[in-house]
Amino acid sequence: MKKFFSYYAPYKVLFTVDFLSAVIVGLLELLFPLIVSTFIDELLPTGNWQWILLAAAGLVVVYLFNTFMQFIVTYWGHMLGTNIERDIRNDLYAHIQRLSFRFFDNTKTGKLLTRLTNDLMNIGEMAHHGPEDLFIAVMTLLGAFGIMYYIHPELAIISFIIVPLILVIAIYFNKKMTVAFRELFGRVSDFNHMIGDKIGGIRLVQAFAKEDEALKEFKKINDRFRETKLKAYKIMSFNNSSTYMLMRLVNVFILIAGAYYVTIGELSYGDFAAFILISNVLFKPLEKINAVIELYPNGIAGFKHFLDTMNEKSDVTEREDAITLTDVKGNISYENVSFKYEEKNVLTDITFDIKVGETIAFVGPSGAGKTTLSSLLPRFYDVSAGKITIDGHDIRDLTLSSLRENIGTVQQDVSLFAGTLRENVAYGKENATDDEIYDALAKAQLKELIDSYPQGLNTVVGERGVKLSGGQKQRIAIARMFLKNPPILVLDEATSALDTATELYIQEALNRLAVGRTTLVIAHRLATIKNADRIMVVTKDGISETGTHEELLNLEGGIYKSLHQAQFSTI
């Protein structure tokens, strides 16, 4: 709760204005029954219409003022809740972005979407209504009892006996609702994940004619979601119904008992009317308390989910005294590097050096750890043992931003955003000019294609670049890299989706880009790396062979030679 209330700090003025307005509204609610009592007992018997109309006009003024106060409470109060919701969402998203690849490997996207949307909306509602409504409800409750006691002590005490019972019922159902809503939020996560997964892969679903199976799975999750939601609503309904009935019984009791006290002369007609009105005011704070108790499970479950995610620690962290990597030359050294992933050894005791401007290619069977070697360099994952240095600096001593700004990565699985071509290419350089973008596209063999589009750079690529071919998406990624112009390049199957003719053009462009830069290339197609300065064959036992293309081909019984023969045997 201390963490929750810390989000109110920037909005002290807004909270104070909203809170005081709510207090005034509550006090005026208590004032109305007293005005009615005075009106009936004091003004009506006089028959003085001038005073009656003047009092009515005054009452209208009070109503107008109260209406203005209620507007402030409703609008500014929700502004407060929305501001807090926004701040929490910003903190959560910022934290998620700092988590390592390992976290995303094991976390469903739907779960994160739920925590960023549905959970936080409930927190916003609780931030607005929780403290304010609870305080005003207690204040109004005590104030109403005080006025009822002033009018008729015995009737007030008898009427108030029901209040603790209503609160006990509300607290009892609150515990049940907390459990129900936690389960409900879990269902929402599954629901969002399934929708994102199936709609994102709709082409695969349709290609395999699996629409019926997908619909069946959707209905199953949807039904579970419905059942969990109904379970929560059932508990809520029991709570509302029981408290409603108890309140109505109190109303009936007040009517009977009040009528009795009027007939024996202990209660005037005005006081009786005021007592009935104030009893309705008494029920409003009870309803508010009930509403807060219903809201609490939603909000607190959402906030606990928020804290759970915020408590996730990245296994890739930046040291407090981390230095900024500048004037990068490109000397890279892997020293006795080992890496475990979920207790499985992926790399063991790997050692090699890469000199400034060298192009080093990694080849070998799938799953041997080639991509892992390149992923360790920008610290997408951290080594389990050993160290990696750039120009003599241990990469763990560097700020993550400066490290990654100096490394350009083109991966096999290209990530594009659902924006325009300009936005996707310019991701490689902030505030890039159109001339710079066109230059990068030309180097990536894409300028003619872009010019053929009616909207040019403003052409929307669709979600995940769905409107582009695989080769076009990879060339967009390569264009980004020309724009970023980093001193160190990592090319992970960067030309794997290109046709042979285009691949030759791209290979020439990449060769030009690699001049004077340190380049790590992961490749399965050996023709693309025959001009590398050195080729390292990576197997499950580590780096088994090292040499140039010609040197490795001359190794009798060598792994590289076997791979080469397997690829070119048909030719």
pLDDT tens digits for range 131-150: 777 777 777 778 878 887 88
C-alpha dihedral, 233 to 238 to 244 to 249, nearest 10°: 170
Q: What is the pLDDT of residues 327-371, one digit of tens each?
A: 898 899 999 999 988 778 888 889 999 999 899 999 888 878 888
Q: How far apart are CA 231 and CA 227, in angstroms?
A: 6
Q: Is the dihedral of CA 12, 14, 20, 25 positive or negative?
A: negative
User: Distance from CA of residue 332 to its chain's centroid?
Assistant: 36
Across the range 478-486, mean pLDDT stands at 86
pLDDT > 90: what percent of the chain?
10
Of the candidates 342, 344, 426, 339, the residue with the CA atom closest to the CA atom of residue 374: 339
Instruction: Compute how many other C-beta atoms are within 10 angstroms of the C-beta atom of residue 141.
Output: 22
Looking up tokens 């609702």 gives 177
CA distance 399 to 325: 7
DSSP E strand stretches across 303-363: 332-341, 344-354, 359-363
For residue 360, count other CB atoms closer than 10 A to its CB: 21
Q: Which residue has the tokens 């992933």?
A: 341
- Identify the bridge partners of residue 361 per DSSP, sorted by sequence position: 521, 535
Q: What per-residue confidence (pLDDT) applies to 541?
A: 83
The 8-class DSSP code of residue 42 comes to I
Tens of pLDDT, residue by residue over 99-143, are 888 888 877 777 787 778 777 777 777 776 767 777 777 777 788
Residue indicated by tokens 């499985």? 344
**Does the pLDDT of residue 560 top 80, yes or no?**
yes
* pLDDT at position 294 over 70: no
Q: What pLDDT is recorded for position 498? A: 63
- pLDDT, the chain, mean: 81
Residue 230's contacts (CB-CB under 8 Å, 6 or more residues apart) are none
Pairing of strands 385-390, 332-341: antiparallel
